Structure 1
Amino acid sequence: MKLFRIAAFSSSLLLGAVLALTGAGQAQASDSAAALDYVALGDSYSSGLGAGGYDGASGDCMRSSKAYPRLWAAAHTPSSFAFTACSGARTGDVTAGQLAPLSSATDLVSITIGGNDAGFADVMITCFFDSGSSCISRINQARSYVDSTLPGNLDSVYSAIRTKAPSARVVVIGYPRFYKLGQSCTGLSENARSAINGAADYLNTAIARRAAHHGYDFADVVPAFTGHEICSGSDWLHSVNWSNIEASYHPTASGQSGGYLPVFSAQV
């Protein structure tokens, strides 16, 4: 009986220590996040177009209260938070108009960029309204741009971020695949959907390569969106939305909270 009591007491001490350490770790992580100066840059996938709840003061940038940067900031209350991501932004727009909040005090930066440079919107319009051959031709044109021109544009953005925020951790976030394949689904052919998904992978690979070159983390959202693509029946992406055409092929509020937010959070 005495041995049993000693063992039970020891187990209790061990459990208490584990709980205390876990609590301390959580508190330390929370304190660490609260001490961060965070700046969110990028295009519509960061501004939250398609998620609703837009800030009227953001105008055409369509910054949403349901976008992953705002959700992360609300959950972690960083010491400062600047949200300059803007719908429709290209790499040149980031360097010209989004970097003002960055400084030597900036600790954390997130960014999605490159899709508009590669002509994402035009690819989707061509594929939806034109023939299958026109769709494939436009995708091949975009892939050629990704090979020839996009790397230099990304380098310009990434270098500008490092110049203004030399100590910041930079998380570069990619784009999802858009279609669930092998499903009965109205709209584009299976061949076109597969080519669009392949183009998204191609773009992500190019972005990840340039991010790594600059020592930045690349966050891949494809696994998080798997099972939630268009035609999946549990979509986290808008298909063509005639009542709000700009939101087409953008994450819903669920795509921001269930896809982008946890992937970003895992990097911080």
Structure 2
Amino acid sequence: MRSVPVRRTVTALVSALALAGTAASPAAAAPRTIELVNLGDSYSAAFGTGGLQQVEDLPGCAQGTGRDHVDKLEAHPRVEVTLDAACAGATTKDVRHLVSVPFVGDALAEADVVTLTMGGNDIGWGGFIQACSAPAEAQYGQGPCEAMLAQAPSLIAGAAASAAETVTAIDAVADARIVVLGYPRLFDDRQDTPMLSAERAAQLNDWTDELNAALAAAVEEEGAVFVDVTDRFRGHGVGSADPWILFGPGAGDHNLHPTERGYLSGYFPGLLGQVARAR
């Protein structure tokens, strides 16, 4: 059975963030280790933090090589990441299929916590951003963007319903706390940029909010926990003075993914609290 890939070198988590809770007497038994399985899409696979590497035993499954929220948990003495099978480009259906892979199912059966992001690839935000970009609207007008935006409600509803099915599939094999993390708003919508007008940035951010709300309702109905990260990323979108979302001509596949700072300051605090509750 495949163990968690050694993706990135990490530093130890400071003791103030210990998951063991309040101090125990010397005679008390040591707190048990929490076993964690990480699944999901590129926002769970450290895209945006560095280079790319393939996950052992999962053909076509790529992860970033820098530090993210999963790495920081892995550094904790009371957390063991027994499997990291997040894959860039994964849809909710892809994650659901992964549950049936034998070594993934084995890891899930022993897990205390399962964490993942999912739903964004069901929507295909890249197409929205391309159609609604300032250069595209200058060349083709507003029609293609408006047509894409009109599809958003049905796409979001479908993604949320599929996410609920995926949670059900995970829950069928795992007696674990299932933590679904949401997506940040990608853009600073306070002013026009060469990429997007402020109006289009606000519309795309609003649809991200709608996706998060739909995912939260769907997965919580199936017993999972949803962690909203939008407040932690507020003021750090593309176009802001301090962006935590990567965007630039040299970023390639990492474009529009969190930077290392985004994962560690945006995603990690919310995930830490949920893992602590599973001890």
- For normalisation by structure 2, the TM-score amounts to 0.78
Counterpart-to-counterpart distance in 1, 2:89 and 2:33 = 31
SS at match of 2:274: coil
Distance verdict in 2 for CA 1:100–1:124, change over 3 Å: farther
How far apart are 1:181 and its partner, in Å?
Answer: 2.1
After TM superposition, list the pairs within 5 Å mapping 1:1-268 onto structure 2.
25=22, 32=31, 35-52=33-50, 54-55=52-53, 57=55, 60-97=61-98, 99-128=104-133, 129-131=135-137, 132-147=142-157, 149-165=158-174, 167-183=175-191, 185-239=193-247, 241-268=248-275
Distance verdict in 2 for CA 1:259–1:80, change over 3 Å: closer
Residue equivalent to 2:16: none
Cα deviations by residue, 1:33-64 (Å, 9 ceiling, x for unpaired): x5111000100000011111544556651243
Cα deviations by residue, 1:75-104 (Å, 9 ceiling, x for unpaired): 345245210000000011112225434443
Q: Which has the larger radius of gyration?
A: 1
Letter paired with 1:94: V
Aligned CA-pair RMSD: 2.3
Segments of structure 1 that go 5 or more residues without pairing to the other structure are 1-22
Counterpart-to-counterpart distance in 2, 1:91 and 1:24 = 34
The answer on whether the counterparts of 2:37 and 2:84 sit within 8 Å (CA) in structure 1 is: yes
SS at match of 1:155: helix
Letter paired with 2:147: S
**More displaced 10-residue stretch of structure 1: 179-188 or 255-264:** 179-188
How far apart are 1:264 and its partner, in Å?
Answer: 0.9
Counterpart-to-counterpart distance in 2, 1:94 and 1:215 = 17
The answer on whether the counterparts of 2:108 and 2:114 sit within 8 Å (CA) in structure 1 is: no
Q: Percent identity?
A: 30
Counterpart-to-counterpart distance in 1, 2:21 and 2:91 = 42
Distance verdict in 2 for CA 1:73–1:79, change over 3 Å: closer
Cα deviations by residue, 1:8-33 (Å, 9 ceiling, x for unpaired): xxxxxxxxxxxxxxx971569xx64x
The answer on whether the counterparts of 1:136 and 1:195 sit within 8 Å (CA) in structure 2 is: no
